[in-house]
Structure 1
Amino acid sequence: MWSWVAHRISGVLIFFFLFAHVLDTALVRVSPEAYNSVIGTYKNPIVGLGELGLVAAVLFHAFNGIRVILVDFWSRGPKVQRQMFWAVIAIWVVLFVPFAIRHLSHVFG
């Protein structure tokens, strides 16, 4: 059940990021100076932490989505869904932790 909740939350967070991304990118057509100003405000540690959260959400959502597809369409999927969930968590940790270390060294370094 928690993977279901986390999948929905990560999906909503990714949606809101994409919405904001489309809006701020569209701003370049209206006023390049305003676009540069908005992009300049993104260069701070709070946004850097938000980017970290975005990568965490995208990685989890992608790998858990593959797990959901396998549960739905693979005959053995429902039987091994718990093991696949822990595989998703393991893959997420293996990919996210090195990224987080490198990203945070750029944000705070």
Structure 2
Amino acid sequence: MAHRVTGVLIFFFLFVHVLDTALVRVSPEAYDNVVATYKTPIVALLEYGLVAAILFHALNGLRVIAVDFWIKGARYQKQMLWTVVALWVVLMLGAIYPVLGHAARELFGS
């Protein structure tokens, strides 16, 4: 279920991304205004959520491929799921500073 949810979330992000990028052809000033709204701490949290969704979707997609195409995949799918979750947590902890660092500096002024 989480794989499907992250897939839908990524689709909606891509849809909005295409729309806001296309706005530059309609009105560069409107595009600049939209991009300016993206430089807030709330959007930084949303970016972190996007990283979380993409990373989980990618790792779990590899697990799904292994289950489908590896002869022992079905037997080890539970272990592979926990491996995906553990790897995802470690990578998400590593992504905190690169993704949220600029928002923290903006909030706390350092």
Q: Unpaired segments of 5 or more residues in structure 2?
A: 106-110
Do residues 82 (structure 1) and 71 (structure 2) align?
A: no
The equivalent residue for 2:18 is: 22
Q: Which one-letter code corresponds to 1:11 in the other structure?
A: G
SS of equivalent residue, structure 1 residue 93: helix
Sequence identity of aligned pairs in percent?
A: 64
Deviations along 1:20-77, one digit per CA (max 9) or x if unpaired, are 0000000111111111110001111111110000000000000000100110111000
**Which of the residues 5, 14, 39 maps onto 1:9?**
5
SS of equivalent residue, structure 1 residue 79: coil
Question: In the comparison of the two structures, how many residue pairs are matched?
Answer: 105
The equivalent residue for 2:68 is: 72
**Which of the residues 43, 53, 56 maps onto 1:47?**
43
Q: Which one-letter code corresponds to 1:65 in the other structure?
A: G
Q: Unpaired segments of 5 or more residues in structure 1?
A: none
Do residues 93 (structure 1) and 89 (structure 2) align?
A: yes
SS of equivalent residue, structure 1 residue 78: coil
Counterpart mapping for 1:54-65 below 5 A: 54-65=50-61
TM-score, normalised with respect to structure 1 = 0.92
TM-score, normalised with respect to structure 2 = 0.91
Counterpart mapping for 1:98-109 below 5 A: 98-109=94-105
Tell me which stretches of 4 or more aligned residues in structure 1 moved more than 6 Å. none
